[in-house]
């Protein structure tokens, strides 16, 4: 293990094939993504894992019971692909499942956990997403995640363990102890505003469980998809979002400490998409080394606002605060933050110097309160510094 950056210290950042490509994956796509990670600045921004999701294998194991990569999609084999990704200074991720089959019907790792972990290590895998379909009913999911965690931790290679049980069985109550580095807390995201909003609202009271070495994964990002997916459920028939909605989505995932796994086709990313995904001020908040969850505050006057209008405050390592003003409602709102509510009484004489993390500019120094007007489905994220 690299002692300088232990696995899972901060939320993972990378790209995953599922949201856009589902079954239509191949080694050239993975190589293209790796190349773009370098040439377009994703690696410099912190993205490192390139993850192949479901549909990479043959439908049967080989005569020794090993998983086999589909030779049409991956003719050079997984080891060669991992080598390609590693040569770029990036990390390589793959996918399997707790059950007898993956969700798309390929072989799962049930009763092959230790064998598969060794194979993944041999192939040079650095990240394993572990899904929840076809789990035999008589066995608890909790036990299955403990089992694969043990297999991965003893396979001879550092492999980040990304559990994906969609938030079933109150996963947040036991997943940290199981050894997983991140855990999906929700059902599948869709490339649609309502999905982003509902996933967010479902996790607002779970922020106390996320943190270093075991991060609440609110699912892969849909930023930049614009409805472009060959999965009807995720995108193509659903419609996509506006750039402002993608910006709000990225802000929520960043400040709530979710892994940032890109789900769009970065080969065709437009400038708006790149500006969102490569926003270094938001990424710095997400990757803050203490890895604290964010707490929620209702804007004043509290009786006036619905639950989809709120502020999130994340305490950062250097004493700054990241503060997001989120308006997930359908009409413009003023979100008034009283500094008293974040531990800053007027009598202290201390003000906040605010920096806008989307416009990348200083907003000035404020005392006692700050009350931005935020359009519908939009947000303002500031980094606040205490000043005398
Ligand atoms: C789902 C999972 C998705 C994707 C898909 C593959 O269960 O939540 O993120 O991995 O399976 O079939």
Which residue, among 325, 329, 343, 324, has the nearest Cα to 376 in the 3D structure?
329
**The predicted structure's pLDDT at residue 1:** 44
CA 253 to centroid of ligand 1, rounded, Å: 19
Ligand 1 atom, smallest distance to 103 CA: 12
Cα(186) to ligand 1 centroid in Å equals 11
Phi, psi angles (nearest 5°) of residue 101: -135, 160
Q: Is 188 a catalytic residue?
A: yes
Weakly modelled stretches of the chain, pLDDT under 70: 1-4, 236
**Rg (Cα) of the chain, in Å, rounded?**
21
pLDDT tens-digit map of 72-89: 999 999 999 999 999 999
pLDDT at 303: 85
Q: Residue 268 gets which letter from DSSP?
A: G
pTM above 0.95, yes or no: yes
Give the pocket of ligand 1 (CB within 6 Å): 18, 53-54, 102-104, 131, 133, 164, 166, 188
Tell which atom from ligand 1 comes closest to the C-alpha of 187: 8
Nearest Cα residue to atom 6 of ligand 1: 54
Q: In the chain, what are the helix, strand and coil shares in percent, each to the nearest 5? A: 30, 20, 45
| Beta-bridge partner residues of 383 | 322, 355
Per-residue confidence (pLDDT) for residue 4, from 0 to 100: 60
Instruction: Spell out the long-range contacts of 308-312 with Cβ–Cβ below 8 A and sequence spacing 24 or more.
Output: 308/197, 308/201, 309/333, 309/335, 310/204, 311/335, 311/337, 312/252, 312/255, 312/256
Mutational pocket test of ligand 1: of 51, 99, 131, the residue with most ligand atoms within 8 Å of the beta carbon: 131
Q: Can 24 be counted among the known catalytic residues?
A: no
Q: Which of 19, 21, 54 to mutate to test the pocket of ligand 1 (most atoms within 8 A of CB)?
A: 54
Catalytic residue of the set 53, 54, 116, 131? 131
- Domains of the chain plus CATH, in order, are 13-286 (3.20.20.70), 295-387 (2.60.40.1180)
Ligand 1 atom nearest to CA at 133? 7
């Amino acid at each position: 293990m690299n002692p300088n950056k232990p696995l899972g210290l901060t939320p993972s950042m990378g790209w995953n094939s599922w949201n856009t490509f589902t079954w239509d994956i191949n080694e050239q796509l993975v190589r293209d993504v790796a190349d773009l990670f370098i040439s377009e600045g994703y690696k410099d921004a912190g993205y490192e894992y390139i993850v192949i999701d479901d549909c990479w294998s043959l439908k049967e194991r080989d005569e020794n019971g090993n998983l086999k990569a589909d030779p049409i999609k991956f003719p050079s084999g997984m080891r060669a692909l991992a080598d390609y990704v590693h040569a770029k200074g990036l990390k390589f991720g793959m996918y399997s499942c707790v059950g007898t089959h993956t969700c798309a019907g390929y072989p799962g790792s049930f009763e092959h956990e230790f064998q598969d972990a060794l194979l993944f290590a041999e192939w040079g895998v650095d990240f394993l997403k572990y899904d929840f379909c076809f789990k035999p009913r008589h066995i608890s999911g909790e036990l299955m995640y403990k089992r694969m965690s043990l297999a991965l931790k003893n396979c001879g290679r550092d492999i980040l363990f990304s559990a994906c049980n969609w938030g079933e069985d109150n996963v947040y109550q036991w997943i940290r102890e199981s050894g997983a580095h991140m855990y999906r807390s929700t059902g599948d995201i869709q490339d649609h505003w309502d999905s982003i909003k509902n996933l967010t609202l479902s996790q607002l009271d779970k922020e106390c469980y996320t943190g270093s070495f075991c991060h609440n994964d609110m699912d892969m990002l849909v930023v930049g998809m614009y409805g472009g997916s060959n999965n009807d459920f995720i995108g193509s028939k659903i419609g996509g979002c506006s750039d402002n909605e993608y910006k709000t989505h990225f802000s929520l995932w960043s400040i709530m400490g979710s892994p940032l796994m890109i789900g769009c086709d970065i080969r065709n990313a437009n400038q708006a998409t790149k500006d969102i995904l490569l926003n270094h001020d938001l990424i710095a908040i997400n990757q803050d080394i203490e890895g604290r969850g964010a707490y929620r505050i209702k804007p004043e006057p509290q009786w006036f606002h619905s639950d989809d209008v709120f502020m999130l405050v994340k305490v950062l390592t250097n004493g700054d605060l990241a503060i997001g003003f989120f308006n997930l409602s359908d009409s413009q709102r003023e979100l008034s933050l009283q500094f008293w509510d974040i531990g800053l009484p007027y009598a202290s004489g201390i003000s906040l110097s605010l920096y806008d993390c989307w416009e990348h500019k200083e907003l000035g120094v404020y005392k006692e309160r700050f009350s931005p007007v935020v359009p519908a489905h939009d947000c303002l994220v500031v980094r606040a510094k205490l000043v005398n």
